[in-house]
Amino acid sequence: MIESGSEIRDVGTDDLRSGLADGSILVVDVREPNEHGGGMIPGSLSMPLSRFDPSALPTGEGKRIVFSCAAGFRSRVAIEVSRRAGLDLSEHYLPGFKGWVAAGGAVEPYG
């Protein structure tokens, strides 16, 4: 698990909406493909945790990478895996896709 003392930043819905609107955030969705029946946060990149490879993250685009999953646990795991690979990433969307939908966030189809 993530080492104690390592700061994880919980990104809320308003911050995520703002970052998506101004193009400063890239959402990396680590849910599995079978979980995408309800769609995805618009513009997000699907990188299922079961096959997650931090070296494939588009880190040179100048955007904040914010991990997302269904409810906020696996996104934290993706941060841990990324840190072990030497990437300085710390943000995840809490409460996850379920919270995005509950807050009336727009959804786009998977694929």
Neighbours of 3 (CB within 10 A): 7
Residue 92 lies in a domain: yes
Residue 19 lies in a domain: yes
* CATH number reported for the structural domain that contains residue 43 in this entry: 3.40.250.10
Domain tally, the chain:
1
Residue 25 lies in a domain: yes
Query: How much is the pTM?
Result: 0.92
Residue 1 lies in a domain: no
Residue 15 lies in a domain: yes
Under 8 Å between Cβ of 108 and 83: no
pLDDT digits (tens, 9 = 90+) for 95-111: 999 999 999 999 999 87
pLDDT digits (tens, 9 = 90+) for 9-58: 999 999 999 999 999 999 999 999 999 999 999 999 999 999 999 999 99
Residue 107 lies in a domain: no
Domain hosting residue 40, numbered range: 9-51+60-102
